[in-house]
Amino acid sequence: MNRYKYSTMVEATNDLNQRGYHHTFKFDDHRLICLQNKKEYNSEQVVIDEQYRFEGMTNPSDNSIVFAVNCNDQIKGTVVSAYGPYANAALMQFMDDLKTQTV
């Protein structure tokens, strides 16, 4: 269970940034890519430290999730995605695989 509570995705990403999750990652071709340094990470190189789900106030189908990730080279950052019916299935499978990994 997360010890932090956030009302919005922006609040979560801002606080995570202040807590050391400075990098932003995108998912492409079954790997995470750090947007700041262009390094690529496979599922064996990353663990999820925290995750937060948000539902849109005006549209319950507007769901998003923020993952706080930690890479094996100590690069920490966030991955933001939709979840539910609009989620990227490959990204969600990748993130599910991380839960059992140990860095």
pLDDT of the residue at 20: 98
Per-residue pLDDT averaged across 20-32, rounded? 97
- Of the candidates 49, 51, 66, 53, the residue with the CA atom closest to the CA atom of residue 102: 49
Residue-wise pLDDT tens digits, 40-91 = 999 999 999 999 999 876 666 679 999 999 999 999 999 999 988 889 999 9
Ordered by start, the domain boundaries in the chain are: 9-98
Q: pTM for the full model?
A: 0.88
pLDDT bucket at 100, cuts 50 / 70 / 90: low
Q: Phi first, then psi: what are they for 62, rounded to 5°?
A: -90, 80
